[in-house]
Structure 1
Amino acid sequence: MNDKNQWKRTESVQDRLIREAQERGEFDNLKGRGKPLRNLTGPGARDWVTQWVQREDLTGVLPPELALRKEAEQIVDTCADLRTEPEVREVVESLNRRIREMRLRPPSGHYRGPESFLRTVSADRVVNEWRERRSTL
């Protein structure tokens, strides 16, 4: 008995829900319908992900590379309430140690090019900015 329907693939729950929503017209008036998605290829392709993560403040769910990049960008704010220069230097060195460790691990994503290389943070620069902020208080 060779019934062609015997081998017919069954529709997944997700596919069924999407198909039913399409049939009801729930996707007909979406913003940007018919327009290409931006920033999915080329040199800035990863920037849209970074911007989305920052805009949505998705802490705790970032790949290690992005979490460290965000931490490096906010290091001066992180150190703002510290009382002494050695405390500031300790926080910066802790970040730099984790950055160096990350460089030794394989990337968490499919591709890590030169644009994703994260430099260590200058403790002297952070201390100088920390001092400037304290002098204005």
Structure 2
Amino acid sequence: MTERKPPGVSFETWADKQIRDAERRGDFTGLEGAGKPLPSLDEPYDPLWWVRRKMQTEGLSALPPSLVLRKRAEDAEAAAMAAPTEAQVRRIIGAVNEELREALRRPPQGPPLMRGLFDVEQVVADWRAARPLPTAVEEAPAPQEARAKGLRRLFRRTRPA
């Protein structure tokens, strides 16, 4: 608010006037989320909603770092199994191994990590085993065979019954 409520004017009337003036100035146009439903409209009421939202935007976690790292290792293993190429599997496992190596050098706060490094070759072998074997691609007929087959079809269609 830019000014104080004058004496003798009801609060409701004064607030309504402030809102109308702001609308005329265009202060409410182009606001983020205008015309969209509230994101947490269907969720049950949470008195600490603002704390959870702030933690989410700041990237904070209520879990101890060791548990966060355990979860990250599990997620990395699942992501590696879903990766389309072997190079991506190696990259994913290599990245999480670096984090685990650092945590093993300097143990994080909280419960013990209880997790060793991934064996990259074993993960790659598991990834290969989970993939179906590539099927042999049918070879295209030789050009002469294809031409002869096409001519036979052509003559078969034009032959009178």
**TM-score normalized with structure 1 length:** 0.44
Larger radius of gyration: 2
Q: TM-score, normalised by structure 2?
A: 0.39
